[in-house]
């Protein structure tokens, strides 16, 4: 990170004439100089550009500080209802560009930096992606916080300050290798430590019951405590003066130190508690293939829930004393998926054991304040914990869960007398040789609201996964289709397209996305289409540079850019994409080049370290890419690249440059998807199944502007009982050829047999993803894509209409729906704004 020297003493032209303001060039330069030379102790010939980034970020953070304090003061002054968004992931992306966009125009900032010999883009590139999330779940949480601040809603995010992110992905010999992502190694200038608000979190020990004035009281005793220390990050709204808070917890040891062990020479044992405590927030999503990994994951989930709830209750008691009569009127706890469900028994514990409430009063508060968002239909993604482990780590919580379950099953029995099978199905405790705590069921039982994240997903929750609960409490269930923030995913990541849109319909669309409908008539304007194409070509050039830099492969910007970037999982069917690429390769090798549209296929995403099939699919992508890219017959017709270390900052380049968005999951498996929305907003066309939010995307843009293929969710379920992939392969000449190339080790001549598990999965009648079943329909849809792309005017018209139809998928709309139906928060402007 070496840099050329820059000048701290340069005074920009007109500097002396600038009016005093915290946002003007004068104060920005002064603050930058102060932080760079005094706080960081650097001079003009510092060899690390990162110090310039740090100083510049601190100067911008200062510009949020007054707004931040005013926002919190306004919330306190009005004693308003608040929502607390609990999530194990927050995939925030870079903060500097977001701050500049939301507070001030970037152009004036860039001009200011130029006077000192600094380039804004180079400074921004030095920021590390915050390693606080993995994929769509964490990115959705980040979008939601942005929208809450933009809508001026009193919402606080609570998460974990992981020392290491998911992992940094490297590709060697086609295989994924995981390296530590120590994103905090050189600090985070955007966070503020709040040591004064640290709390103790209990683990282990046991429950002790006593009788006080005729009432049974419980205490959690002989526990092994850790300290949770909060770090706050500012979340600015879009040019409205509001700055909300994301509070992240770091685990540390308590002040206790075993001096006796140390003096006896047992140094490791003396600091053992410190090391054990810090492990809790060390790594995002530890590999839970082992018992230790599972235990650490449970510790993380409880640590988040307990620290956050203690913090919230502390604030309440400070303002209202120990009177909880209006607590439920002033709070909502939104659980982002099943991971934070420990919040249910922990809230009960705190209210009863720490604040003296009786069970009925504590449950009345809990059942009115907790709301649950489910994000998956996959059974393995629903949290279940062995009762033995849960009781050993969280004994008091298990007591409470048993009581919740007993009272709940009594209600079930009252509704359906004698239906013991239904009671067994609905029990929070799954019976068997190894009893399990079903955390998703606990969340449903305790929540005032249970929502899915796309219309189809919510229907499937009600009809299948939570059917029994829906029959008991239909009023709890609702849908909140996901959305993404247009500030980061259009205004910031695609400034050229944003400027073109603003020139046509004005700037208000950035906070009122339905206004994009006004773009539709411009799809018929020849000159506007030409400008739209020029923007897309420039964005494709940026993406081509990224692919060449990270993959060593040249993408021709005149070719169709066919993109699938997301977590690697069998249900997302990156494998189906590869089979189509092999099909195109086979056509080229057999001389059938006529009618093939030049195509550059980009695949990217991370596989969980313990997910061997997903890692094998990455190897297959790279093996196929090596053969295709080195074959002279494919030159100018077909390229394939796997982008390593897919992340938010990469997506900010990928999204604007994509022509085709691959959303090809097995129908009924994807809850919603948000990548599909980002691509749509930026004018990419979608090829997809009737799954997740794809259905609503097609409804908004029209069937003629969406490339649909494959079985729907009902057909998928019906096909499973009679699925015969061998017959499908034998009857489809193209698929037979593709399978033959895999079976003869054409792409792995020197590693024979490594793709046999993939071949077996495709050919298995028990393949839950039905890859072979959708192959022919997928190829036909891809042929329609290729034909459409050969007509630039027609393709551009569809591209404009996709952007015009994307207004529904703004996270501003999603958050407005949450607030209207669940949270019921007032919009509050800080004083002076």
Q: How many CB atoms lie within 10 A of CB 417?
A: 7
Beta-bridge partner residues of 336: 373
Q: Pinpoint the alpha helices (H) of 439-525.
A: 439-446, 455-460, 467-472, 486, 495-505
Contact 572, 665 (CB under 8 A): yes
End-to-end CA distance of the chain: 40
Q: Is 103 in contact with 240 (CB distance < 8 Å)?
A: no
State the DSSP code for 428.
S
Q: What are the residues whose beta carbons fall under 8 Å from the beta carbon of 591, sequence distance 6 or more?
A: none
The closest alpha carbon to 596, from 789, 372, 737, 370, belongs to 789
How far apart (Å, rounded) are the C-alpha atoms in residues 771 and 725? 9
- DSSP summary character for residue 571: G
Residues 6+ apart with CB under 8 A from 678: 484, 489, 651, 655
Q: What tokens appear for 141 in the block?
A: 């949480």
Rounded CA gap, 733 and 735, in Å? 6
Residue found by looking up tokens 């919603």 in the block: 672
- Both tokens of residue 358? 């009786």
Neighbouring CB atoms inside 10 A of 291's CB total 10
For residues 199 and 196, what is the distance between their CA atoms, to the nearest angstrom? 9
Residues in the chain: 833
Q: How far is CA 392 from the centre of its chain?
A: 31
Structure-token pair, residue 671: 């809850």
Q: What are 177's strand-pairing partners?
A: 170
Task: Look at residues 265, 442, 458 and name the one whose alpha carbon lies nearest to residue 338.
Answer: 442
**Inter-CA distances, 788 with 247, 555, 792, 793, 799, Å:** 48, 20, 8, 9, 11
Determine the Cα–Cα distance for residues 218 and 11; give it in Å rounded to an integer. Answer: 67
Decide: 87 and 259 in contact? Cβ < 8 Å. Answer: no
Handedness of CA 812, 818, 821, 823 (dihedral sign): negative
Alpha carbon 788 to its chain centroid, in Å, reads 32
Q: Are strands 168-172 and 175-179 parallel, antiparallel or unpaired?
A: antiparallel
- Residue pair 309/343 in contact (Cβ under 8 Å)? The answer is yes
In the numeric block, which tokens belong to residue 750? 């020197």
* Residue 272, C-beta contacts closer than 8 angstroms, at least 6 positions apart: 258
Check if the beta carbon of residue 108 is closer than 8 Å to that of residue 25. yes
What tokens were used for 679?
Answer: 């691509």
| Residues with a known catalytic role | 375, 566-567, 572, 674, 678
Instruction: List, as one string, the DSSP characters of 296-314.
Output: HHHHHHHHHHHHHHHHHHH
Residue 84 β-bridge partners: 156, 333
């Amino acid at each position: 990170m070496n840099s050329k020297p820059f000048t701290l003493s340069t005074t920009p032209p007109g500097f002396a004439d600038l009016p005093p303001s915290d946002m003007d060039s004068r104060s920005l330069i002064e603050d930058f100089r102060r932080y760079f030379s005094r706080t960081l102790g650097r001079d003009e010939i510092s060899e690390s550009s990162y110090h310039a980034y740090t100083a510049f970020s601190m100067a911008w953070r200062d510009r949020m500080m007054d707004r931040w304090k005013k926002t919190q003061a306004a919330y306190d002054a009005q004693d308003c209802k608040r929502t607390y968004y609990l999530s194990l992931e927050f995939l925030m992306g870079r903060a500097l560009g977001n701050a500049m966009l939301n507070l001030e125009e970037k152009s004036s900032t860039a001009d200011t930096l130029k006077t000192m010999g600094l380039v804004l883009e180079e400074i921004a590139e030095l920021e590390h992606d915050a390693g606080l999330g993995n994929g769509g779940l964490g990115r959705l949480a980040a979008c939601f916080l942005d929208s809450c601040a933009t809508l001026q809603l009193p919402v606080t995010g609570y998460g974990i300050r992981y020392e290491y992110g998911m992992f940094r992905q490297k590709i060697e010999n086609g295989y994924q290798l995981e390296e530590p992502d120590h994103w905090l190694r050189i600090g985070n200038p955007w966070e503020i430590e709040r040591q004064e608000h640290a709390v103790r979190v209990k683990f282990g020990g046991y429950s002790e019951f006593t009788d006080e004035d005729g009432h049974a009281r419980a205490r959690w005793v002989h526990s092994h405590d850790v300290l949770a220390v909060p770090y706050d990050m500012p979340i600015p709204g879009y040019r409205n003066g509001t700055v909300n808070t994301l509070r992240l917890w770091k685990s540390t040891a308590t002040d206790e130190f075993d001096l006796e062990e140390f003096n006896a020479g047992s140094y490791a044992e003396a600091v053992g508690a410190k090391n054990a405590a810090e492990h809790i927030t060390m790594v995002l999503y530890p590999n839970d293939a082992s018992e230790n990994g599972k235990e650490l994951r449970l510790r993380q989930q409880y640590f988040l829930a307990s620290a956050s709830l203690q913090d919230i209750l502390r604030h309440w008691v400070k303002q209202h004393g120990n009177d909880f009569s209006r607590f439920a009127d002033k709070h909502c706890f939104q659980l982002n998926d099943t991971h934070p469900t420990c919040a249910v028994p922990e809230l009960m514990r705190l209210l009863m054991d720490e604040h003296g409430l009786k069970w009925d009063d504590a449950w009345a508060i809990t059942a009115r304040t907790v709301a649950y968002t489910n994000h998956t239909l996959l059974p393995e993604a629903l949290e279940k914990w062995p009762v033995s482990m849960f009781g050993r780590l969280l004994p008091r919580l298990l007591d409470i869960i048993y009581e919740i379950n007993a009272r709940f099953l009594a209600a079930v029995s009252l509704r359906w007398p004698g239906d013991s099978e239904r009671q067994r199905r609905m029990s929070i405790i799954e019976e068997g040789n190894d009893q399990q705590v079903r955390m998703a069921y606990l969340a449903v039982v305790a929540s005032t609201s249970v929502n899915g994240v796309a219309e189809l997903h919510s229907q499937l929750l009600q009809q299948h996964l939570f059917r029994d609960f829906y029959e008991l409490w239909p009023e709890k269930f609702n849908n909140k289709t996901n959305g993404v923030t247009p500030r980061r995913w259009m205004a910031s990541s695609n400034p050229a397209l944003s400027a073109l849109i603003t020139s046509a319909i004005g700037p208000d669309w950035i906070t009122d996305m339905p206004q994009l409908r006004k773009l539709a008539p411009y799809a018929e304007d020849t000159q506007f289409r030409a400008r739209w194409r020029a923007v897309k070509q420039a964005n494709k050039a940026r993406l081509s540079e990224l692919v060449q830099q990270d993959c060593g492969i040249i993408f021709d910007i005149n070719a169709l850019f066919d993109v699938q970037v997301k977590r690697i999982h069998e249900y997302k069917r990156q494998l189906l994409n590869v089979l189509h690429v092999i099909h195109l390769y086979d056509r080229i090798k057999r001389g059938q080049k006529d009618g093939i549209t030049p195509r550059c296929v980009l695949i990217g995403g991370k596989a969980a370290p313990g997910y061997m099939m997903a890692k094998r699919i990455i190897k297959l992508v790279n093996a196929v890419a090596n053969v295709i890219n080195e074959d002279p017959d494919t030159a100018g017709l077909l390229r394939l690249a796997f982008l390593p270390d897919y992340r938010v900052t990469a997506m900010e380049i990928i999204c604007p440059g994509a022509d085709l968005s691959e959303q090809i999951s097995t129908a009924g498996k994807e809850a919603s998807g948000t990548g599909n929305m980002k691509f749509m907003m930026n004018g990419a066309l979608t090829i997809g199944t009737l799954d997740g939010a794809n259905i609503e995307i097609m409804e908004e843009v029209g069937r003629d502007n969406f490339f649909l293929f494959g079985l729907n969710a009902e057909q998928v379920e019906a096909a499973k009982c009679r699925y015969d992939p061998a017959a499908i392969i034998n009857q489809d000449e193209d698929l037979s050829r593709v399978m033959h190339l895999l079976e003869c080790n054409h792409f792995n001549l020197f590693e024979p047999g490594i793709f046999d598990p993939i071949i077996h999965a495709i050919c298995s009648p028990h393949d839950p993803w039905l890859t072979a079943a959708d192959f022919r329909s997928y190829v036909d849809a891809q042929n329609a894509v290729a034909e459409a792309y050969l007509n630039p005017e027609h393709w551009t018209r569809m591209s404009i209409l996709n952007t015009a139809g994307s207004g529904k998928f703004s996270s501003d709309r999603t958050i407005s729906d949450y607030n209207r139906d669940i949270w019921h928060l007032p919009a509050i402007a800080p004083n002076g704004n």
